[in-house]
Amino acid sequence: MPESVDDDDVETIGIVLETSDPERAWNAFRLGITAVESGKDVSVFLLGDGVEAEEITDDQFDVRDRMEAFANAGGELLACGTCLEIRGSDESDVCPISTMHDLLEIVTTADRVLTIG
């Protein structure tokens, strides 16, 4: 049985989403929502293919809905500006353009960082 972790030690969580796979993106935001609802400060940074998450259409995994629920719950959602530019995309109301400095801030200050790719 795994050793229990005292989640009181974890106040901030960073999630780096590097995929546009519907199920993985959907699960990343489900985790983010659960963490925010548990009182954690959560930031999701979309990187690489992850910046395409908002445009995912899938009958089984409603990623856009989970992204909006995450933002409405109080989670911070950021997207790599360069990755958006490469794809000819713009920021959205849900997800503003960010920089590597923002990602650096997340990975150097969060108590836990998870990358989903």
pLDDT digits (tens, 9 = 90+) for 10-29: 999 999 999 999 999 999 99
Q: Do the Cβ atoms of 91 and 109 come closer than 8 Å?
A: no
- Cβ atoms of 59 and 43 within 8 Å: the answer is no
In a domain, 1, yes or no: no
pLDDT digits (tens, 9 = 90+) for 26-84: 999 999 999 999 999 999 999 999 999 989 999 999 999 999 999 999 999 999 999 99
Cβ pair 50, 20 in contact under 8 A: yes
Q: Please check whether residue 3 lies inside any domain of the structure.
A: no
- Which domain, by its residues, includes 57? 10-116
The number of domains in the chain is 1
| Residue 96 amino acid letter | P
Q: Is the pTM of this model over 0.85?
A: yes
Q: What is the C-alpha separation between 9 and 81, in angstroms, rounded?
A: 32
Residue 104 lies in a domain: yes
Does residue 43 lie in a domain region? yes
CA dist list (Å): 22 to 8, 88, 96: 31, 21, 21
